[in-house]
Amino acid sequence: MSQLAILGGEKTRSTPYPHWPVFDERDIEAVTSVVQSGRWGGFPYPGPQTREFLERFVEMQGGGYPVLMVNGTVTMEVALRAADIGWGDEVIVPALTFQATAAAPMAAGAIPVIVDVDPENYCMDPRKVEEAITPRTRAIIPVHLGAQMTDMDAIMDIAERHHLIVIEDCAHAHGARWRGRGAGTIGHFGSFSLQSSKILTTGEGGILLCQTEELQKKAESIINCGRPYEYQGKIHYTMGANYRLGELHAALGVVALQRFPEQMKQRNEAASYLEEALSEVPGVRLLRRDPRHTTRAIYIYGFAIDPQVFHNTHEVVCAALEAEGIPCDTGYPPMHRYDLFQPRLSRLPVPSAFPDRFDFSRLSLPEAERAGERESVWLDESVFRDGQKGIDDVVTALKKVVEHGEELARAAARRLEK
């Protein structure tokens, strides 16, 4: 085999993977007609595009009372506030996720409690959730990470026994199903991001699915500056802010949903093909395919490398893969290492008020550390939209990197010495 591209050899793949987001004339027409209608913003809520987009989203996802808002972080903050969770309450979150999963409880005045992940799927480990429960625990935020889903049977069982609210972070899970039920419709809330990298995007945006109409009405008021709302013949007030999304974004969502089922099928077929092919690559460990996870959504796709077999940790392996033309990265670092959550580096109200409960540097979360600091490799979504050739290139590049592992390690060591 030829030399590694990172050491000056030829790239496995010289053409880029397909661009994201995709668009065509329909998006341009949809936005144009909203511009011409003069109804651009999100007030009064919901506008006609918002209404149509949410109706179709609920149909696709399979349930819930939806609220459209500006992103997939405030969705979780609003969910917590709608459930009356706030100052000093504890919210359990997994160690491998985007910072939003912990920032949202902090914005609501609550304390994120970080727990370790299950090494077989990199999602929150239900046993660790159970161990982390205290009298102050009010909610759990499982994150359906990459192509995986958290064990929702176990999470809902824990939540029922301890009277906790469950907010599913579905930023990666549009279209995913657990025993036939849509992600985000199993817990009390489902939070979806529509940010431009996600598999369903309106540029920016977020959808909160609520389990009841009552929670939906309350969440709608919170995102609508706390305007009073009527429920069951009574007028209610919330303390809110403007978190509404505009109609231009909603119009893009209506079109994006027309393409979504076909894209999903394409990604899922590519993922199954990848899994067959990866079983031949030494040192690669696939994550679990839980039979209860009946439909997958492929945003980023994670697997583990064995640093012994590769002679390198994931950082060097990803750099070598990138050089081969394969878009990937090492994924989320374990969240308890983030500077953002160190009390001395943050002047946010919650860490300042509860410095002892915020010192995450004391935590030891071995599975998240093993994955996030040494082993996890996450392939970009675009890899799954280029048919078999797109996947074959990944496998060829990985084989090349593992075969040249020792040489790569020597080069990496030389670079460190310099």
Ligand X SMILES: *Cc1c(COP(=O)(O)O)cnc(C)c1O
Strands (E), 263-360: 284-286, 301-305, 328-329
Answer for the pair 5, 12: CB distance below 8 angstroms, yes or no: yes
Which is nearer to ligand X, 111 or 194 (by Cβ)? 194
Q: Is 143 in the site for ligand X (CB under 6 A)?
A: yes
Cα(172)–Cα(329) distance, integer angstroms: 16
Which is nearer to ligand X, 177 or 198 (by Cβ)? 198
Q: What is the Rg, in whole angstroms, of the alpha carbon atoms belonging to the chain?
A: 22
Catalytic annotation, residues: 198
Cα(207)–Cα(50) distance, integer angstroms: 11
Q: Is 98 in the site for ligand X (CB under 6 A)?
A: yes
Q: Is 171 in the site for ligand X (CB under 6 A)?
A: yes
Element (H, E) at 137: strand 137-140
Q: Minimum distance from CB of 161 to ligand X (Å)?
A: 26
Q: What are the CA-CA distances from residue 17 to residues 1, 199, 274 (Å)? A: 23, 15, 16
Strand partners, 112: 91
Answer for the pair 242, 98: CB distance below 8 angstroms, yes or no: no
Q: How many residues bind ligand X (CB under 6 A)?
A: 14
Binding mask 182-211 for ligand X (x = CB under 6 A): -----------x-x----------x-----
Which residues in 211-230 contact ligand X (CB under 6 A)?
Answer: none
Which residues in 379-418 contact ligand X (CB under 6 A)?
Answer: none
Which residues in 54-73 contact ligand X (CB under 6 A)?
Answer: 71-73
Q: Minimum distance from CB of 235 to ligand X (Å)?
A: 31
Q: Minimum distance from CB of 143 to ligand X (Å)?
A: 5
Which is nearer to ligand X, 68 or 277 (by Cβ)? 68
Q: Is 340 in the site for ligand X (CB under 6 A)?
A: no
Q: Which stretch binds ligand X (CB under 6 A): 30-38, 57-65, 164-172, 307-315?
A: 164-172
Helix, strand, coil percent values for the chain (each to nearest 5): 45, 15, 40
Residue 340: how many CB atoms within 10 A of its CB? 14
Strand partners, 140: 92, 166
Q: Is 100 in the site for ligand X (CB under 6 A)?
A: yes
Greatest distance between any 2 Cα atoms in the chain = 74
Q: Is 12 in the site for ligand X (CB under 6 A)?
A: no
Q: Minimum distance from CB of 78 to ligand X (Å)?
A: 12
Q: Minimum distance from CB of 221 to ligand X (Å)?
A: 21
Q: Minimum distance from CB of 232 to ligand X (Å)?
A: 32
Residue 146 burial (10 A CB sphere; 0-12, 13-18, 19+) = buried
Q: Quick one: which of 77, 169, 247, 375 contacts ligand X (CB under 6 A)?
A: 169
Which is nearer to ligand X, 178 or 310 (by Cβ)? 178
Q: Is 168 in the site for ligand X (CB under 6 A)?
A: no
Q: Is 338 in the site for ligand X (CB under 6 A)?
A: no
* Strand-by-strand arrangement of the 189-193 sheet: 65-69, 206-210, 189-193, 165-169, 137-140, 90-94, 111-115
Strand partners, 94: 115
Binding mask 273-312 for ligand X (x = CB under 6 A): ----------------------------------------
Q: Is 78 in the site for ligand X (CB under 6 A)?
A: no
Given the rule CB under 6 A, which residues bind ligand X? 71-73, 97-98, 100-101, 143, 169, 171-172, 193, 195, 206
